[in-house]
Chain A
């Protein structure tokens, strides 16, 4: 057997942790992923320090916080500098054959760095996120069977769970116990139609032969069916590895760039807002030859910047000093006691311009500019009493809110100074998409 492990790094775009069975979701959305978790290790508290897709994936591959790498917005002005560490590039230099089954390089050039092979069946679609797990798997499995002569690194970016939610016909009927998805008297989604993503959904994928879909429970069922469809794809990929005799020494790292708000916080079927439904992401890792402690669940806080350092340690590679994340490989192997961060600080700069500071008890959210939903500039949630983050206690607990704000601002000031930067990147970018939309309206 080759000494270095193969790596398949999977991000399921917009996959919300608590809609998986292994994260206590009751409907059976994820039987195969749940099995993967039983055979490997699950992180209960993995957080995205930057959302959505472009900032988060940049963090995954650089091992850096968004304030450090500078890519804080999806579709923003910032570009990743050439000198930034980049996981696929490092593995390529270490002798890995590298392959991306992905679309991101079409949007931002740095996502193509370090790959000898890029496979992109989404070219066959008008909208790249319509590409299915079956289309990606067909190419990925063919590549695995024929190309690599030594250890390989493959990144697969599944889009099934990202809107539009159009699961295959054969999953029809799953996860919905309502009676009339198109009831014209149901107005629960009316506010969403005023958001450009909601208007787009209303004009396209929520239309049916029975009329416009108006029941949010039905839309959530469509999202869950997409998870079930993705789950089948994960099973097919794993079965192919078994057939090739590669499953033992291949690390399967299944994660997500961010979650998804259903209708939480008046954010409908989208991935903005710094609430846990969107910033807490699933992480399941399987690697039999690496002697991961099968079935263990790591509770301490981790961040997506830890992914690259952990994979580099697993391959015996040197972790660049510029990577800020920390490997937790030995915790996954049961050789170290589980430990992690006391707090996570994160941001968004796409539909909203905000920061969050989360510790084990509280979440504080600070807006750099007013948001389109009219939320207050400061939000504070007691996660022990209010895990859904429904009751803002910032005015009831002003000292606590002020203390967390000072902690956040102090961290940012120190960070910027250490980086030799003077400007807050979230203030610089602003809410990029919201501002473009405002421009169209005016």
Chain B
């Protein structure tokens, strides 16, 4: 059986998957104890908490 020579750019070439979309960046802020203390201090100054 005659076999066709493989050609550059032929249809049966393995086409790489398109890159997956980059997931959104998610920095997820963290409240440190010193942040909590600062929040309390600021709200105390405003009379919001005692």
Chain A residues close to B by CB (< 8 Å): 74-75, 106-107, 125-128, 130, 164, 166, 169, 172-173, 176-182, 196, 199-200, 203-211, 213, 218, 222, 432-433, 436-437, 440
Contacts and interface: CB of A to CB of B under 8 A. Distances in A.
Interface centre among B31, B40, B42, B48 (most CB of A within 10 A): B48
Classify the interface of chain B: helix, strand, loop or mixed: loop
B5 interface: no
A75 B29 contact: no
Nearest to A204: B35
A31 to B, nearest CB: 21
A207 B29 contact: yes
B15 interface: no
A218 B28 CA distance: 10
Given A107-B50, A433-B46, A437-B46, A210 B27 contact: yes
A200 B39 contact: yes
B29 A166 contact: yes
Contacts of A207: 29, 35
B45 A166 contact: no
Contacts of A126: 33, 36-37, 39-40
A204 B49 contact: no
A200 B31 contact: no
A127 B26 contact: no
A127 B45 CA distance: 13
Interface in B1-50: 22-31, 33, 35-40, 42-43, 45-50
A332 B42 CA distance: 43
Contacts of A130: 31, 36
A75 B24 contact: no
A166 B31 contact: yes
A209 B29 CA distance: 8
A288 B16 CA distance: 58
A166 B50 CA distance: 23
28 contacts: A75-B47, A107-B50, A126-B39, A127-B36, A172-B26, A176-B26, A179-B22, A180-B25, A181-B24, A181-B25, A181-B27, A182-B27, A196-B42, A199-B42, A200-B38, A200-B39, A200-B42, A200-B43, A204-B36, A205-B31, A205-B35, A207-B35, A208-B27, A213-B27, A213-B29, A218-B26, A433-B46, A433-B47
Contacts of B45: 436, 440
A432 B47 contact: yes
Nearest to A168: B28
Q: Which 8 A-B pairs have the closest CB atoms?
A: A208-B27, A204-B35, A126-B36, A75-B47, A127-B40, A210-B27, A200-B42, A166-B31
A258 B8 CA distance: 67
A121 to B, nearest CB: 14
Nearest to B35: A204
Given A130-B36, A172-B28, A208-B29, A433 B48 contact: yes
A205 B25 contact: no
Given A130-B31, A169-B28, A205-B29, A164 B48 contact: no
A179 B39 contact: no
Given A127-B37, A166-B31, A433-B47, 15 more contacts: A75-B49, A126-B36, A126-B39, A127-B40, A164-B39, A173-B23, A196-B46, A200-B43, A203-B38, A204-B36, A205-B29, A206-B29, A208-B30, A436-B46, A436-B47
A8 to B, nearest CB: 26
A433 B30 CA distance: 27
